[in-house]
Each structure stands twice: as structure tokens, then as C-alpha cells.
Amino acid sequence: MSTDFQNKVIFQQVVELLQDARQQVLRTVNSTMTLTYFEIGRMIVEEEQSGKDRAKYGKQLLKGLSQQLTKEFGKGFSVENLDRMRKFYQIYSISSSLMTKLENQKTQSVTAQFDKLDFQTLSSFFKLTWTHYIFLMRIDDENERRFYEIESEKHNWSVRELKRQYDSALYTRLSLSRDKEGVLKLSEKGQIIEKPKDIIKDAYILEFLGLPELHQYSESELEDEIINKLEHFLLELGTGFTFVARQKRITFDDKHFRIDLVFFNRILKCFVLIDLKIGELKHQDLGQMQMYVNYYDREIRLEDENKTIGIVLCQNKSDAVVRYTLPENNEQIFASKYKTVLPSVEVLKELIENK
């Protein structure tokens, strides 16, 4: 073995070691700063509560504290940021998930003050960056906020990815296809995939394609844009998806058919076939997908793999067409709408009210 080759191997190993160390240091720093801001928030809240005119005293306290801390430590301690720390403590000190964690670990009673909390207990709860929590605090509903927090931790979402998932109403879309117990599980464990229906969304948001909602485009153009933005599309599909093929040709009886997109879900251990349709869903579209799924189940999938799932993505669908075309016990064929723009607040409210 040449000396140059040995040097390259050692260099790569050292680089990987240093990169891992930097990531660990960064995670530790982020965790420490988040816990510090939580503690600062606690101190501010407790000091405010001792004031006679709380509202007036609170403003004066933040202003004076901001001036002193900025003089001592520089940027990062504006009145606005100190107010965020106060809100951070107020929101998370009464978080049901944090209370449950404290009860389970029996560190102290849930009515105890937070000034004696075990550092390790809190550090195991606050795993995201301060910037993540600044965004999460904007979400009023605790169940929804906890869902995005769990998913951010689980999938290592950047703040940008977190914002995108929130703006596309991921929690709402997943909630629409679940009963009350299922919605509760979303806030306790995030998205758990155990059966085919768990990976299906009520609507897929494809705003990253850059296609205006009323723009005239073909199915092949839609497919091209998805392939060009495949990383974004995989994020929208959800957990466990890997890309397999596009325009996958299958042949029987001397006839050729092409499946638009083929994926494999590592969690469900099955192929997922996607057909793209412009306009309204027709019963023939579901019949064609059933044929694709049957072919994959009988000719492609291995013995240790589960049954194939088929999804027809369309601009519009009739629930009646889906209901009367597919069997009652269907667990393989699904039809979902897609939107190429982020839904408005009004549309989201309508979805929630009609749930």
C-alpha cells in the first residue's frame, strides 16, 4: 500500500472525526443556549409577578435588562428577544408533554417550580435550535406545535423545511384522514407509519414546482418538474420514500404501458406507484392503476415485500367515483388531489370546518 494512499485514508478519517466533533459541539451549544433562554424566561416571569403593576413593570424590566445585557454581552438581548424568552418559558413550562416527561422520570411533582429542574431532563426535551423554537411558538395549538416539534427532531428538518411543512398545512392534511384518536397520536408521536393509509395525504402541495394553479401544462411537463425538484417531492411524500423509476414500462400481451413514477417505501417495505392526471379523476384512471398494482404484486415484488400501493394524483376528484370504483376493503389504491400553490388561510379553515 503506497504512502500517498495511506495518507489519503488517514486524512479522510480525521476529517470525518472532526466533522462529527463539530456537529456534537454545535448540538451541545444549541441545547445549552436553549436551556439558558428558558431559564432567563423563568427569571423574567417570576420577577414580573413580584411587581405591583405587572404590565408597566414588565416593560420597564425588559427595557432595563436589555440595555444592561447588550452592554455586557453584545447583540442577542433586544427587548423583542427577551420577550421571546419570556414567552418561551410561559408556553413550555405548562406544556403537557414536558409535564408528562417530568412525571415519568419522577424528577419532581408537576406543581413544583422549574428553578430546580434537572438539566439532563430539560436537555432531553429541548432538542431543537432556538430559531426552531422561535417559529414553533407562533403555533397556538399545542397538539399541532408538538407535532411539528417531533417531526423536526425525527427528520432533522432545518428551520426552512419546518416553515415549508407548516405553510403547506402538513398537520391539517394528515389530521383530515384520521379519527380523534389518530389526531391525538400525531401530537404524541408524530407521523407513525404502520399501514398504507398512513402515508396518504388528503392533498399534496406542490408549490415548489413553480406551476401557477391556472396555468395550462401537460402531464409530462408536470412529471418533468417533479423530477427536477425530486428532493422537494420526496419531502412532500413523507417518511421512508426512495425514488425507483420514471416512465416505468411494463409489457404483457404485446402491449406496453408506462407508470409515471415508481417509489419504494422502506418503512412499509412496498412499492408505491404514482400516476399523474391533469383535470378530473375518472374511474378508468383507478382501473388502470389497479392493473399496474396487480402487475407489480404478481411480477415484480419479492416474497418478503408487502403489497404494492397505487396513488393517482389528480387536480380534482369525486369522492363518489372513488367510493364506487374501488372495493370497500380497499387498502392499496388511493386517489389524492394536488395543488401547485399553497392554500389560502380561507381554504385551510374550510378544510378544518368540513372535516
Model confidence over 2-44: pLDDT tens digits?
566 566 667 777 777 777 777 666 666 777 888 888 888 988 8
This prediction's pTM: 0.74
Rounded Cα distance, 143 and 185, in Å: 9
> CATH classification of 201-343, choosing from 3.90.550.10, 3.40.1350.10, 3.40.50.300, 3.40.220.10?
3.40.1350.10
Q: Is the pLDDT of residue 115 over 50?
A: no
Q: Are strands 241-252 and 203-205 parallel, antiparallel or unpaired?
A: unpaired
Q: In the chain, what percentage of residues exceed pLDDT 90?
A: 33
- The rounded mean pLDDT for the chain is 82
| Contact between 109 and 100 (Cβ < 8 Å) | no
Q: What is the pLDDT of residue 114?
A: 45
Backbone dihedral region of 117: left (phi > 0), alpha (psi from -120 to 50 degrees) or beta? beta
CA distance linking residue 120 with residue 102, whole number of Å: 11
Res. 242: pLDDT tops 60 = yes
Alpha helix ranges (H) inside 124-204: 130-136, 142-155, 159-167, 170-176, 180-189
Q: How confident is the model at residue 271 (pLDDT cuts 50, 70, 90)?
A: very high
Contact of 289 with 310, CB cutoff 8 Å: yes
pLDDT value at position 113? Answer: 45
The domains of the chain are located at 3-136, 139-192, 201-343
Q: What is the rounded CA–CA span in Å between residue 262 and residue 198?
A: 18
What letter does residue 297 receive in the DSSP assignment?
A: I
Alpha helices in 269-344 (DSSP H): 283-295, 319-325
Matching residue, cell 417495505: 269
